[in-house]
Structure 1
Amino acid sequence: MNTIFNNKVAIVTGGSFGIGRATAIAFARQGASVVIADCVEDLNRETLQQIEADGGKATFIKCDVSKASDIEAMIDKTISMYGRLDFAFNNAGIEGVAATTQQCTQENWERTLAVNLTGVWLCMKHELSHMLQQGSGAIVNCASVAGLVGFPSLPAYVASKHGVIGLTKTAALEYAKWGIRVNAVCPGVIKTPMIDRFTGNNKQAEQQFVDMEPVGRMGEPAEVAAAVIWLCSDAASFVTGVALPVDGGWISQ
């Protein structure tokens, strides 16, 4: 286990599966104590078990990021347990229901934005309070390539991820002189349960996504996690307000 984050504390929302799980494990492998926050508790607690098997420290806290009370309680418990908060990966998100702008229901619109955008804002609101007291911290928000370009039939998801990038840039400017950096990662097609739901595990549908990737494959959650770790590290000390594509070249086409 490396120790660049020794004695540091990280929160990962949506940490039970996919990119969140990979990032929680990556933080722990760098020596951080990790809070795995998710509205869905993996019954086998695989994220927590893997971190502990590697000799790391982690805690699971159930949290629905669309609820301010859940977020406040989660962060208060983090501070109570660990005494500080150094890093946050605001990753929790949903894809919503595929539909054109005209066919998108208000229910789908409101739920998708509540989790993907309002949830990120609420997390940052409470994370920043503690980071300001410390005079340091790094936040990474999970946007998407859908935050950089449009995608038909995903109006709520695309709007939410564009919003995450705008929120990230605004917060980065607001807190740049307070020792707090705020960035975003923009994953392309990553092999996660979300992609499995989107494609229905249909091999032809999966291949269509692969064919659109210049590198000729889907990304792995660990590849996004590596970008998050770098953005939180001192190696990225002069990087803030960035929306970093981790997309195999998708938006360069």
Structure 2
Amino acid sequence: MSTSTGLSGTSVVVTGAGSGIGRAAALRFAAEGARVVLADINADGTKETAEAIAEAGGTAVTVVGDLGEQRIVDQVVATAVDTFGGIDVLVNNAGVMDRMSAAVDTADDEWDRVLHVNLTAPFLLTRAALPHLLANGKGAIVFTASEASLRGSAAGTAYTVSKHGVAGLTKSLAVMYRDKGVRTNAIAPGGTVTGIQVQADREAHGPSVLMGYRGNLGRAASADEQAAAIVFLASDAASNINGVILPVDNGWSAV
């Protein structure tokens, strides 16, 4: 196993590990010698990720449930502490898309679901994990933010607000805990090939406006390209990087 990243033997929690960017990140951490807690609401997907890690000679355990529920959050933290002795890295990756709805068309259920999964859940897990990261005197938190954290033209109202919130949470944590040895950063993916589906009515106001900006998207990334950036930000190679929202978007944010 590689030791160049400083991740060998560490305890890493990855949310949304049942598919997409989360699965790719979990596989990369395990390949670096980390021991990984896989958290996701998707039981089958999480099991498949664990099996892939085991087949490659790595170590992983799973927790299945809604991370917006405090009891599941507590279970994730307890699993990491009881099984691997603590938490060194927390990857808040789990997320959902909205329907690309403009504000006037955003239903309560769309708003509540997107904010619940994308912002409340990672806050709850971060709050629960922080005492263990702080106890180490060293650690890293990495969020999956979005191009929608940087602009207003990448998604609908609910998703955009949730990901701006993730960016704010990232920066707040970076300031609050930098002198305690805990770094917090985020990636801001552009278009990425994952299993996430967008249920949008193209004739509705929000999607019709947003489609006009999609020409700047460029080549879509693979989940593994996003995962590589997550592992970098968690590693010793990024030891003086803190509070950064890193676009991984093939230059979309530069257009």
Q: Say yes or no: TM over 0.5.
A: yes
Report if the CA contact (8 A) 1:140-1:232 is conserved: yes
**Paired position in structure 2 for 1:29:** 31
Report if the CA contact (8 A) 2:17-2:46 is conserved: no
Matched to 1:151, the amino acid is S
Q: How many residues align?
A: 243
Matched to 1:227, the amino acid is A
Secondary structure of the equivalent of 2:125? helix
**Paired position in structure 2 for 1:205:** none
**Paired position in structure 2 for 1:110:** 112
User: What's the TM-score once normalised by structure 2's chain length?
Assistant: 0.90
- Residues 238 and 153 (structure 1), Cα distance of their counterparts in 2 relative to 1, 3 Å cut: closer
Secondary structure of the equivalent of 1:138? strand
Which of 206, 212, 216 is equivalent to 1:212? Answer: 216
Is 1:181 aligned to residue 183 of structure 2?
yes
Q: Unaligned 5+ residue runs, structure 1?
A: 201-207
- RMSD over aligned CA atoms reads 2.0
**Paired position in structure 1 for 2:254:** 252
**Paired position in structure 2 for 1:90:** 92
Matched to 2:150, the amino acid is L
Q: Distance in 1 between matches of 2:173 and 2:46?
A: 36
Deviations 1:146-175 (A, max 9, x none): 110113761000000000000100010000
Is 1:76 aligned to residue 78 of structure 2?
yes
Which of 215, 222, 228 is equivalent to 1:226? Answer: 228
Report if the CA contact (8 A) 1:210-1:218 is conserved: no
Q: Distance in 1 between matches of 2:142 and 2:42?
A: 21
Deviations 1:120-140 (A, max 9, x none): 111110111111111111000
Which of 44, 47, 50 is equivalent to 1:48? Answer: 50
Report if the CA contact (8 A) 2:40-2:65 is conserved: yes
Deviations 1:15-43 (A, max 9, x none): 00000000000000000001110011126
Q: Distance in 1 between matches of 2:155 and 2:174?
A: 31
Matched to 2:2, the amino acid is N
Report if the CA contact (8 A) 1:89-1:141 is conserved: yes
Q: Distance in 2 between matches of 1:97 and 1:210?
A: 15
Map 1:121-200 → 2, pairs under 5 A: 121-151=123-153, 154-194=156-196, 197-198=197-198
- Residues 147 and 166 (structure 1), Cα distance of their counterparts in 2 relative to 1, 3 Å cut: same
- Residues 152 and 43 (structure 1), Cα distance of their counterparts in 2 relative to 1, 3 Å cut: closer
Which of 232, 235, 238 is equivalent to 2:237? Answer: 235
Deviations 1:89-125 (A, max 9, x none): 1001111333221010112111110110111111110
Q: Distance in 2 between matches of 1:236 and 1:145?
A: 21
Deviations 1:16-72 (A, max 9, x none): 000000000000000000111001112682211111111100111113111122101
- Residues 153 and 60 (structure 1), Cα distance of their counterparts in 2 relative to 1, 3 Å cut: closer
Matched to 1:179, the amino acid is G
Secondary structure of the equivalent of 1:239? coil
Q: Distance in 2 between matches of 1:173 and 1:152?
A: 27
Report if the CA contact (8 A) 1:48-1:59 is conserved: yes
Report if the CA contact (8 A) 2:38-2:46 is conserved: no
Report if the CA contact (8 A) 1:116-1:160 is conserved: yes
Q: Unaligned 5+ residue runs, structure 2?
A: 201-211
Report if the CA contact (8 A) 1:100-1:152 is conserved: no
User: What's the TM-score once normalised by structure 1's chain length?
Assistant: 0.91
Q: Distance in 2 between matches of 1:231 and 1:7?
A: 17
Matched to 1:7, the amino acid is G
